[in-house]
Structure 1
Amino acid sequence: MTANRAASPIPLFTDAASVQDREAKVLHLILVRRLDYRPQGASAVGNVAVFSEPAYAPFRTKRLQLATPAYYREQNDLAPGIGDALDGTLTKDSIQWAKTVLPAGMVTNASISFAASREPWIYCASHYQLDREVRRLKDDFAGKYGYTAVTGILDPEAFAMWLGIDFSVNVDKATDVTLRKLDEFCYAHSRYNPTLGPDSSDRFEAIVQICHGPVHYEDRSGHIATQEDWLDLHGGPRAWFTKRTCLASQREYRFAVSTLGDPVEPRHYIDVSPELRELTSAL
């Protein structure tokens, strides 16, 4: 079989940490990926800020709400721009492929939208460089959605790591996710040198991945011309960080949090630690 030459590249890990829970005698593994699927030459990410209702501003709230891309696609009561029928998907032009499988003359236009078979929980922010840009974002979010609070994220890299740490110590594999056989195999065969005492396990309690970076805005994410073009093993992260060009004014910056297993609920809540809160400030 010929490989799909346009397949998404493997996203590399940019940071990692382990978190010891001495009371529970378990260890969590945190893996971080910094992603940017924008074309070469895109403007650098400057500052990152969260726009929200005042009660949910990260510098004061006790819990952060995260939601899967499927939640934003399927929740009917979300305002346009927050709800998005194509959130977390890649839409590809498939007219060439369709012409090879359907009778001649039947196809004049064709496209296919792909979503990942397993999705993370997303926390949404925006990025900007100039003061006038953050003022414009603040006016837009306040006017359209009532998001009048602005919270600066002082260090997105550190925020991503602490978001993963806070998630790891709160996630419950028995209730928050459904483990597939491969997930159970991964946990059963994960190993580390135990340092938490004679009764501690030598297997990771939770393996958590954090992807973070700016959203790329495009209406078409490639072409499907042959059967091989369907296969894109690493297209999931790219889909999570791609949205339509009509939403580009939001300048979104995302944090995608996941662990082994399929989310049971489309929304998930993370308790905010003092360390995570210290990485935020009111603007």
Structure 2
Amino acid sequence: MANISTTKTVAPWTGMVPVDDTALHVTDTGGTGIPVVYLNGQFATQGYWRRVIAGLGTEQWRHITFDERARGRKSLRSKDYSFEAAVRDVDAVLAARGVDRALVVGWSYGALVAAHWAERNPQRALGTVLVDGAYPYDWLDDAMEERIRKLFKRMGWFTPLLRPTGITPRMSAAEQAESNIELGRLSRERVLGPVLDRIAVPTRFVVASGASFGSKGDEQEQIRTSLDAVTDRNANIQATKVASNHGAILKKDAPAVAAAVREIADVHHGER
């Protein structure tokens, strides 16, 4: 295990962290372990990580989770749901919890945020685990943009009914659609490829299999093929394929994600 844990015991904490025009609901397990910050899927919540966290335990790890703007039950709304806002939120949460260096784990949209944060902060990122996301592939075109807008518009009649449970975000259908479209633009090979090429810290992709909600045919499997060129170009990045699909990976393959976190810590230890 890497000797990168804190020397001061931090008490467990949960509360609100102000950032920009909003505030985020944050949970910190505390302790003296290696800080790990978890970045959620686009409209998911911190609760999705509970099986990964349980698999790692708290003796050697300090787990920091949070709900993004207008997600979950407590994080507040904002006028800015952009990708850059999501990256700023990582810094805001870490600063609020007094963490300078952390291992960053992201799933889906959170994987893209994690990749950008690690690339921009090589001295602060202990490493990153990217769970079925951050694939440099040109999947967005005009037809796909229209399909995305129609999908969120169709869901707009019932998603507000679920907001009190925290299952769906407190964002309009249009805001959710635009966020998804921005994701597509940022995922283009000419945009994301150079970001991944510049990552200078140990990085592990945990790659799902098959299709899931919102995809058709082998769309997702085709997107995942873009990772081959990434691992060929950057020796810091390796990938592991698992059996579950995109939506089930944090539930059914949580042990594989936890194993990737441990591997990153061990790689960091070996380079010291």
| TM-score, normalized by the shorter chain, greater than 0.5 | no
TM range (shorter): under 0.3
Higher helix proportion, which one?
2
* Larger CA Rg, structure 1 vs 2: 1
Q: Which has the higher contact order (CA 8 A, sep 6+)?
A: 1
What TM-score comes out, normalization by structure 2 length?
0.22
Higher strand proportion, which one?
1
What TM-score comes out, normalization by structure 1 length?
0.21
